[in-house]
């Protein structure tokens, strides 16, 4: 049995939503968590900058003797995951694939309307859109960049009138969807405001499915 810790990397506190879910599903695993709050936010940075920051995060975690790395950040997953997987031999997992694979199973043979909200960088990269189109060609996709939500979550502004009004403004064009992907790990921190706007829409954040996938990887490994 490999007793080394899991490494987890995010641009800030958003990845703690993933951390919490992984600890819930894998309570005996130790986790080294790196939140790069010094250089937050990532969503407004260039792809080249995000790749470089992700490489630095991975190298720090490798230095902590981790056995596997989770990129618990939508922006880093969408823009840097494939690049860093070519560079490092250590297993690296992002938050996009496992969630879209779950949605494909849930909505198989249907034509769902799927909304994706994320940072501008993530939306610009088409990371979520490309994976949805690949696995769910019948799906209709609506996207919205929500650049203020992650900084507000970092500041702890998740349960006030400012958060409520900001979420309402962003989501005014994301109506009539069957499912909404919270494409940034900070966004579950404002999920209650999202529910107030969209009601009974099914919400999907990357954490539960990533944790399940991680569990499968560790068992197989």
Q: Just list the catalytic residues.
A: 73, 184
Q: Distances in Å between the alpha carbon of 152 and those of 36, 67, 128?
A: 16, 33, 23
What is d(CA 2, CA 221) in angstroms, rounded to the nearest whole number?
9
What is d(CA 184, CA 182) in angstroms, rounded to the nearest whole number?
6
What is d(CA 42, CA 85) in angstroms, rounded to the nearest whole number?
19
Residue 141: DSSP 8-state = E
Side-chain half-sphere of 35: how many Cα atoms within 13 Å?
A: 12
Find the helix or strand (DSSP H, E) in which 213 lies. helix 206-220
Residue written as token pair 């939500």: 149
Residue 86 CB neighbours (<10 A) = 6
Residue 30 burial (CB < 10 Å; 0-12/13-18/19+)? Answer: exposed
Residue 189: DSSP 8-state = G
Closest CA to 128 of 92, 164, 103: 103
């Amino acid at each position: 049995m490999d007793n080394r810790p899991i490494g987890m990397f995010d641009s800030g506190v958003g990845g703690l939503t993933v951390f919490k879910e992984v600890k819930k599903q894998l309570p005996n695993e130790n986790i080294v968590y790196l939140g790069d709050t010094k250089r937050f936010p990532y969503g407004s940075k260039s792809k080249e900058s995000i790749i470089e920051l992700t490489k630095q995060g991975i190298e720090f975690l490798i230095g902590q003797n981790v056995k596997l790395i989770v990129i618990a950040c939508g922006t880093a997953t969408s823009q840097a995951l494939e690049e860093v997987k070519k560079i490092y031999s250590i297993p690296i997992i992002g938050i996009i694939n496992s969630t879209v694979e779950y949605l494909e199973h849930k909505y198989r043979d249907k034509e769902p309307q799927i909304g994706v909200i994320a940072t501008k960088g993530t939306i610009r990269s088409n990371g979520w859109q490309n994976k949805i189109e690949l696995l769910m060609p019948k799906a209709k996709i609506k996207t919205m960049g929500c650049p203020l939500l992650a900084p507000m979550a970092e500041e702890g502004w998740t349960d006030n009138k400012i958060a409520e009004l900001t979420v309402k403004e962003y989501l005014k064009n994301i109506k009539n969807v069957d499912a909404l992907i919270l494409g940034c790990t900070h966004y579950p921190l404002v999920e209650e405001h999202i529910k107030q706007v969209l009601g009974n829409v099914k919400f999907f954040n990357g954490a539960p499915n990533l944790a399940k996938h991680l569990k499968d990887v560790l068992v197989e490994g």
